[in-house]
Structure 1
């Protein structure tokens, strides 16, 4: 867990203790975005969730620092389209503030 993720974990833990969320887990689920192709010797593409947050539904929270890499943003968007039964949230920690960017 990097510094930004640790900051966010502290927020989630405070929300859990306050009863605002039921629970949360760090990097506990991988979502398959593409299947492996053994003939082409290519691994499948996966999206590892930063946080799973349990409220009245299952939320996927992606946490980013000041800069969001294009490939990470693309995987997030693809996962959101492929798995619509989850609620996807992307949070960015920038200049000391948390911003919901997706």
Structure 2
């Protein structure tokens, strides 16, 4: 069993509970807020309908300092299902969708960012 399968077998944490990667990203957003680049953010603050009985909840809803609303998704790794959902949401809604993937410390840490 791969590490990814083991993680999926553990299941998702309860709604509103951040995993380690999401907590690290929340800390990153707080630093951006202090720097004045982010006005506000909320974890799992918005639920978007993609189709009948299909929803997508971005990890973070973010208001940039210029008032633009962004939906941020934080991933340790991507599954096909997650990538499809963010692409569909980006086509349906007028928000900027951003995916942040944690970089390993041996690569300098930080975030690899992809816009949709």
TM-score if structure 1 supplies the norm length?
0.85
**Structure 2 spans left out of the alignment, 5+ residues:** 1-17
Q: How many residues align?
A: 92
Question: How many Å apart are 1:101 and its aligned residue?
Answer: 2.8
Local SS of the residue matching 2:100: strand
CA distance in 1, matches of 2:101, 2:31: 18
CA distance in 2, matches of 1:71, 1:77: 10
Residue 75 (1) aligns with residue 92 (2): no
1:16-64 CA deviation, whole Å, 9 max, x = no partner? Answer: 12211101110010000012xxxxxxxx100001001101200000000
CA distance in 2, matches of 1:73, 1:11: 22
In terms of fraction of residues, the more helix-rich structure is 2
**What RMSD, in angstroms, separates the aligned Cα atoms of the two structures?**
1.0
Q: Which runs of 4+ in 1 moved over 3 A?
A: none
Larger relative contact order (CA 8 Å, sep ≥ 6):
1
